[in-house]
């Protein structure tokens, strides 16, 4: 049995991970609306009529719209929500797309990790404070941890 001191060890937090950041350091948001803002600002704005999911390219935005219309998997429905192609739809459908995008980007991460603190120089507990930034419980030193190391499968 875990001592009461470590009772929070298995607690998990929720973050939202950008599905379109290609690098190893994907954008992480604490709130879903933060992710939506990021996708609109970075990916939708820079879109050159290319599907962010499968890479198919089109000559006009209309081609991309039609492509999204034809696809019904979760990743394309998520893109349909983020890319604002639901603007003229009824609110029920908008809400459905939002729900799909929400659950498709929702990711569980550990609230607590153990790590050798570079400042304390001992293995101790770190708690997540925001995004993937964790803080040493002993000295307050903060460090960003890669998603792969804190993601709960």
CA distance 117 to 73: 43
Q: How far is the CB of 44 from Zn ion (least distance, A)?
A: 10
15 or 91, CB closer to Zn ion?
A: 15
60 or 90, CB closer to Zn ion?
A: 60
Crossing angle of helices 74-82 and 61-70, rounded to 10°: 140
96 or 139, CB closer to Zn ion?
A: 139
Give the binding site for Zn ion (CB under 5 A). Answer: 18, 20-21, 27, 51, 53-54, 56, 117, 119-120, 136, 138-139, 141
Structure tokens at 128: 């997540």
Task: Provide the 3-class DSSP secondary structure of residue 113.
Answer: strand
Structure tokens at 34: 């933060």
Structure tokens at 11: 């607690």
Q: How far is the CB of 26 from Zn ion (least distance, A)?
A: 6
Q: How far is the CB of 33 from Zn ion (least distance, A)?
A: 15
């Amino acid at each position: 049995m875990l001592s009461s001191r470590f009772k929070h060890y298995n607690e998990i937090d929720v973050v939202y991970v950008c599905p379109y950041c290609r690098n190893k350091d994907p954008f992480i948001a604490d709130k879903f609306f933060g992710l939506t803002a990021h996708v609109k600002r970075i990916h939708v704005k820079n879109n050159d009529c290319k599907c962010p999911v499968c890479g198919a390219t089109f000559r006009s935005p209309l081609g991309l719209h039609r492509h999204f219309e034809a696809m019904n998997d979760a990743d394309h429905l998520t893109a349909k929500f983020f890319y604002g192609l639901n603007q003229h739809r009824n609110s029920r459908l908008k809400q459905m797309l939002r729900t799909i995008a929400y659950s498709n980007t929702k990711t569980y991460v550990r609230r607590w990790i153990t790590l050798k603190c570079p400042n304390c120089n001992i293995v101790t507990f770190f708690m997540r404070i925001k995004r993937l930034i964790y803080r040493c419980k002993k000295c307050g030193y903060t460090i960003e941890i890669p998603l792969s190391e804190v993601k709960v499968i």
